Amino acid sequence: MTYNQNSMFVYPVTLNEVKHVINRLEGSHSDGFDSVPEVIIKSHIQFVTIPLVHVFNLSFLTGYFPDILISGKI
């Protein structure tokens, strides 16, 4: 079997993983890089979890990551 060295496999993100990460947020009232405060995400977890799982998994599947998601703290 031949493998492409320029590819990788990533397991799909699960609902529980996204909920876990959201619950670990501090709940800050200041805006993040996306202009949405953590406290809003945490208080609306039941509404944002499924769409976030979909966006993350679609990004992994297609290899396309929106520019706003390509950010990091240094």
pLDDT of residue 52: 94
Which one, of 37, 5, 9, 1, lies nearest residue 22 by Cα? Answer: 37
Torsion of CA 31, 10, 45, 40, to 10 degrees: 0
Residues in the chain: 74
Question: pTM for the whole thing?
Answer: 0.77
pLDDT band at 14 (very low <50, low <70, confident <90, very high): very high
Q: Domain coordinates of the chain in residue numbers?
A: 15-63
1-5, 17-21, 46-50, 59-63: which range is least confident on average? 1-5
- Which of the four pLDDT bands, split at 50, 70 and 90, describes residue 5? confident
Average pLDDT over residues 2-19: 84
pLDDT band, very low/low/confident/very high, at 31 (cuts 50, 70, 90): confident
